């Protein structure tokens, strides 16, 4: 089958930018019925080593330092926004105004106001978008949704979500952007529990009320001196303050009357989730 090429632009070649790139490379193998195929056109990252990887390892034709070149590239027809959270609003508004459909990583904004701005800009521009709630897509979840919607499981009375991760369990792990409020917004609420809230709403329906408690158990971490990607890195810099939560416990009431219990930690030793 000859498939129409769709030009892809990537903004940020970090942990998630690499995951998106692998997915683009594999998508036709997984879904041979597709009539299109992604063509990796250009990636942007501030760090030269990441730009080199984009071309040498990930298969982009070109890599640039300025993300504006990705949005302006005439062959880029869809964009993956895989940047740290503090860039999401600016990038999404620019993508919408360039008329480029985009997949933006979660959490969309650092808070409600930024997320609203992004949703409004995309709607006004009429571009197709997706938010990186990747746990929605496995076939088992899609099947569960169908079964619940068809009433096959009866009345859903309660939901329990546990998202435990160890990525920050080492107190000597670096103070990455994820721990700084101005850069990340919240801690586990946005980084991990946003997946849980999305999944529960996807299956059971909207959440109406919540009550929550959170805590930062590792209050300081060594500051990062060089560049690093991913969830953790070792660092030897002076200690800096962790500004958002390591752990959250939430109880919720869904609009349909179901109750929910949500728990998330980034310092639970053992469970891997990155
Ligand atoms: N859907 C999921 O399951 C999932 C998993 C992990 C991360 N994420 C999300 O993906 C996003 C990125 O997280 P990550 O783990 O890849 O972060 P990361 O720290 O690994 O990578 C961030 C990258 O952004 C680059 N960058 C910084 N400023 C830039 C700029 N001005 N222009 C271009 N690039 C710039 C950095 O050099 C780095 O390569 C976050 O919003 C995160 O919440 C989603």
Instruction: Report d(CA 223, CA 175) in Å as an integer.
Output: 5
> Cα–Cα distances in Å, from 146 out to 5, 113, 131, 203, 255?
32, 32, 21, 9, 19
Indicate whether 208 belongs to any domain: yes
CATH number for the domain harbouring residue 24: 3.40.50.720
pLDDT band at 233 (very low <50, low <70, confident <90, very high): confident
- pLDDT at position 274 is 56
Q: Please provide the average confidence, as pLDDT, over all residues in the chain.
A: 96
- pLDDT at position 181 is 97
**Mutate which of 10, 14, 53, 134 for ligand 1 pocket (most atoms within 8 A of beta carbon):** 14
121 and 186 inside one domain = no
173 and 207 inside one domain = yes
Sheet holding 259-265, edge to edge: 158-164, 259-265, 247-254, 207-215
38 and 155 inside one domain = no
Mean pLDDT of 98-103: 98
**Mutate which of 20, 66, 84, 266 for ligand 1 pocket (most atoms within 8 A of beta carbon):** 84
Indicate whether 60 belongs to any domain: yes
Domain count, the chain: 2
119 and 157 inside one domain = no
Indicate whether 104 belongs to any domain: yes
Indicate whether 255 belongs to any domain: yes
Mean pLDDT of 203-218: 98
Where does a domain end: 132, 167, 200? Answer: 132
35 and 117 inside one domain = yes
75 and 164 inside one domain = no
11 and 128 inside one domain = yes
pLDDT (tens digit per residue) in 103-144: 999 999 999 999 999 999 999 999 999 999 999 989 999 999
Q: What percent of the chain has pLDDT over 70?
A: 99
Residue 272, pLDDT > 90, answer no
pLDDT (tens digit per residue) in 22-77: 999 999 999 999 999 999 999 999 999 999 999 999 999 999 999 999 999 999 99
Q: Quote the tokens at residue 13.
A: 């070649």
Q: Do 104 and 17 meet the contact criterion of CB atoms below 8 Å apart?
A: no
Mean pLDDT of 177-194: 97
Specify the pairing of strand 239-241 against strand 220-222: antiparallel
Instruction: Report d(CA 68, CA 183) in Å as an integer.
Output: 20
What's the first-to-final CA gap in the chain, in angstroms? 36
- pLDDT at position 1 is 74
Query: Who has greater pLDDT, 90 or 233?
Result: 90
Indicate whether 195 belongs to any domain: yes
116 and 29 inside one domain = yes
Query: Who has greater pLDDT, 235 or 89?
Result: 89
CATH number for the domain harbouring residue 156: 3.30.360.10
Where does a domain end: 109, 132, 155? Answer: 132
Q: Do 193 and 247 meet the contact criterion of CB atoms below 8 Å apart?
A: no
Residue 231, pLDDT > 90, answer no
209 CA → ligand 1 middle, Å: 30
Instruction: Report d(CA 264, CA 268) in Å as an integer.
Output: 9
Indicate whether 246 belongs to any domain: yes
pLDDT band at 192 (very low <50, low <70, confident <90, very high): very high
Q: Quote the tokens at residue 187.
A: 């801690």
Residue 47 domain boundaries:
4-132
152 and 190 inside one domain = yes
Residue 81, pLDDT > 70, answer yes
Indicate whether 80 belongs to any domain: yes
116 and 208 inside one domain = no
95 and 151 inside one domain = no
- pLDDT at position 219 is 97
- Nearest Cα to Cα of residue 226 among 176, 192, 151: 176
Residues in contact with ligand 1 (CB, 6 Å cut-off)? 11-17, 44-47, 50, 67, 82-85, 87, 105-106, 132, 134, 191, 229-230
What is the chain's length? 274
162 and 258 inside one domain = yes
- pLDDT at position 133 is 96
Indicate whether 52 belongs to any domain: yes
Q: Quote the tokens at residue 197.
A: 């809230």
81 Cβ contact partners less than 8 Å away, ≥ 6 residues apart: 11, 12, 87, 88, 91, 92, 95, 102, 103, 104, 105
Residue 157, pLDDT > 90, answer yes
Mean pLDDT of 251-269: 97
> Cα–Cα distances in Å, from 76 out to 43, 140, 182?
10, 33, 30
- pLDDT at position 235 is 83
Where does a domain end: 112, 132, 152? Answer: 132
21 Cβ contact partners less than 8 Å away, ≥ 6 residues apart: 10, 13, 40, 43, 54, 58, 59, 60
């Amino acid at each position: 089958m000859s498939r129409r090429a769709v030009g892809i632009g990537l903004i940020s070649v970090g942990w998630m930018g690499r995951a998106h790139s692998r997915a683009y490379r594999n998508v036709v193998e997984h879904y041979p019925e597709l009539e299109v195929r992604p063509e990796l056109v250009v990636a942007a990252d501030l760090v030269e080593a990441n730009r080199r990887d984009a071309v040498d390892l990930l298969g982009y034709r070109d890599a640039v330092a300025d993300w504006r070149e990705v949005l302006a590239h005439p062959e880029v027809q869809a964009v993956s926004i895989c940047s740290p959270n503090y860039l999401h609003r600016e990038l999404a508004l620019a993508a919408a105004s360039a008329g480029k459909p985009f997949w933006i990583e979660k959490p969309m904004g650092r808070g409600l106001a930024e997320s609203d701005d992004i949703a409004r800009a995309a709607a006004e521009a009429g571009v197709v978008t997706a938010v990186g709630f990747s746990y929605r897509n496995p076939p088992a979840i899609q099947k569960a949704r169908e079964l619940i919607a068809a009433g096959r499981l009866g009345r859903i009375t309660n939901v329990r979500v546990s998202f435990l991760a160890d990525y920050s369990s080492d107190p000597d792990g670096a103070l990455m952007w994820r721990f700084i409020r101005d850069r990340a917004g919240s801690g586990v609420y946005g980084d991990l529990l946003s997946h849980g809230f999305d999944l529960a709403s996807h299956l059971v329906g909207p959440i109406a009320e919540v009550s929550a408690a959170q805590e930062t158990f590792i209050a300081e971490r060594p500051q990062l001196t060089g560049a690093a990607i991913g969830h953790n890195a070792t660092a030897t810099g002076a200690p800096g303050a962790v500004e958002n939560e390591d752990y959250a416990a939430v109880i919720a009431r869904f609009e349909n009357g179901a109750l929910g219990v949500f728990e998330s930690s980034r310092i639970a030793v053992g469970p891997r989730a990155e």
